[in-house]
Structure 1
């Protein structure tokens, strides 16, 4: 298992704090309803990136609906946002995530593994595959045009 990329930063009180990268692909992205959960934990947006082409994106049957990445052999590159967050805050973030989602490792297009949302095994069964949109933001833009 490859560990997430680690960075050391100094906070205002000069204590070292380990920073990890967290990839998000749905409601936690900039401009969406749950972005505040990340910023409230001191997370900082770093960049927009893409997954390795081994994932599919499905829409959950939850309210509100959310995307879920599924690792598969016939995947595609999907847009994600990479945020920097203190490793010590990951547990607090995990407490906010409802089933069938959790946190695990996800591979970016350059091969780097980062912490990201993962779905519980089998949770994708019967859900709608929205991979053709290339990412959640594009899915939302297109489906709102149709409404």
Structure 2
């Protein structure tokens, strides 16, 4: 049977209760789980974005596990979701703590070269609280 949903990892303003979560729920996405990435990511506060949001970058060394949420979205709504994603954010492959992978938010590394690094907080929700 063909899979008619896509799992998407979110790590910032799309988290439950945060300003962009409606972009998921209005497209009938459902919360699957809270988890973390594997230990190969760094997190930055992306400059000049309203609402504020983080940029997660995969690195080959000095990475850490970061908190995120996995959501399941009907495949036919994914294009509508994608056109709402503003640069420098993009969707790519995110490796989870258990070694599995899902599609999820990543950030173009050049966009955060001078940004505040917030990796030590372990996730966006802890940084903004």
- Indicate whether the TM-score tops 0.5: yes
> Residue 85 in 1 paired to residue 61 in 2?
no
Which residue of structure 2 lines up, in the alignment, with residue 68 of structure 1? 55
| Native 8 Å contact 2:57 2:109 kept in 1 | no
1:100 and 2:88 aligned: yes
Higher relative contact order (CA 8 A, sep 6+): 2
Shift of the 137–92 alpha-carbon distance from structure 1 to 2, 3 Å rule, reads same
RMSD: 1.5
SS of residue matched to 1:122: helix
Give the match for residue 23 of structure 1: 9
- Tell me what 1:34 maps to: 20
| 1:63 to partner: Cα distance | 2.7
2:45 is the alignment partner of 1:45: no
**Corresponding pairs, count:** 127
Query: Equivalent of 2:122, from 134, 138, 141?
Result: 134
Contact 2:90/2:105 (CA < 8 Å) preserved in 1? yes
> Would you say the 8 A contact 1:7–1:20 is kept in 2?
no
**TM-score, structure 1 normalization:** 0.82
Residues 63 and 89 of structure 1: CA distance in aligned 2, closer, same or farther (over 3 Å): same
Q: State yes or no: 1:123 paired with 2:124.
A: no
Aligned equivalent of 1:145: none
